Structure 1
Amino acid sequence: MESFKWSFGILFSRMVRLPSMDGKVALVPWADMLNHSCDVETFLDYDKQSKGIVFTTDRPYQPGEQVFISYGKKSNGELLLSYGFVTREGANPSDSVELSLSLKKSDGSYKEKLELLKKYGLSGSQCFPIRITGWPLELMAYAYLAVSPSSMRGQFEKMAAAASNKITSTKDFKYPEIEEQALQFILDSCESSMSKYNKFLQASGSLDLDVTSPKQLNRRLFLKQLAVDLCTSERRILYRAQYILRRQLRDMRDGELRAFKLFDGVRNFFK
């Protein structure tokens, strides 16, 4: 089993995908020592003319300057899982955090919604990626479905299909009548997830690392730091999402309040 773990780790941390060969993977000695940077577009590929692996850079380098390569547009979680490291906080534009959304079992249309989600390969509890720049339409579609009343039953299937990215057109895919409820639903899910991150980070300062071997202790500390770095990075994305959601909800509610006051003023004028 130890040999298998070692082999598995070597393969997944050092394999190179070759675009010109339909994404086939290869182990390329020395090339796998190149470090990753989120700021470069350099890559490795097979060159038919030279019959070898060619390293193409996106800019000139000076003698003695470290040359970086891109491991792909991956989140910090993917980088940690595949390569064993996390970029510094805020340095990865492709970073994301998985947000879990769930249908409410108390919903009178729960079974109907669940069946439609299953039809499109989804479940009653589904994860979607949130990036620092926002979230995908699929997440919003799932939120629409989760909060939609039974009177919108005719739209359930369209929402479920959109949540699975299986609709041909996303034009005009918006439901203003439940927009506020959908945003609040996403915000509640963010806050629930945030509490788990805060709990872990608070507890991480008091984890029991009492081990007999100094080497084992160093490894435990290293892994603990990686976990803390990852959670800090993902929590930052959730903070940003919460800020955007709260601002959108505030603007919507302020607009509704102004409209109500205007309507009330007009009504009083004609009394």
Structure 2
Amino acid sequence: MTALVELDNVSKYYGNIRALEGVSLEVHAGQISCVLGDNGAGKSTLIKIIAGLHRHDSGTFLIEGEQTSLANPREALDRGIATVYQDLAVVPLMPVWRNFFLGSEPTKGVGPFKRLDVELMRETTRSELLRMGIDLRDVDQPIGTLSGGERQCVAIARAVYFGAKVLVLDEPTAALGVKQSGVVLKYVAAARDAGLGVVLITHNPHHAYLVGDRFVLLKRGSMSGSHTKDSVTLDELTRQMAGGSELEDLRHELERAPVPTHLGGHPVKDDGPAA
């Protein structure tokens, strides 16, 4: 089956700085591909390449089997790639329905009588959110009054409505508690079940393993692992994410050494020479 998006041995450099080197990723319809890594691992650079913000310097970037190099985010949207960033890019004081259609507002009337079709936007927002299982109290309320999890869910429903084939989510649960994270992951799974290919960027292996089908681990701009769900356990994924042998070395370094007696340690009992 042809991948919706495929990166093969992709690299990105900023002058002499290596931001990404030799990274491969496949995104298939109805599957969630998780990209895991700590801060500075290269996750943001990978997002920017897929979203059309930056062009890759080497390697192959394919969309539905066609080799490409996106010029800008609008071209990515036109090719069916929608990216939901961590800050969500919403206008907090505007109502939910206005944020849902922000930049793509439908109008009615002609000439000087042309105006926003507010009723269509309200009804469409309400029905699309319900279709994703999101039952908001009022779509007229400012989106800033919603919880972080609810705002993420509105952004996901918006991408689905506007025809995204690939949904890229930048740390959607990073600033959320356990309950709200669970809500967001439920709607991430709903997007997958709607036939989208999802790229979930996260530093939380537990969240990734709950919904993920494929896992790519990044470390300092390079791939440190690539797995399918049936080839790796949560414990192994967590161990690799945490650094594996490096974490073990750190544990040995941090172990308490015996405290000398003159610094408050317990004296060692001396029974004299052995018989």
Question: Normalising by the residue count of structure 1, what TM-score does the alignment of the two structures yield?
Answer: 0.24
> More helix per residue: 1 or 2?
1
> More strand per residue: 1 or 2?
2
Question: Normalising by the residue count of structure 2, what TM-score does the alignment of the two structures yield?
Answer: 0.24
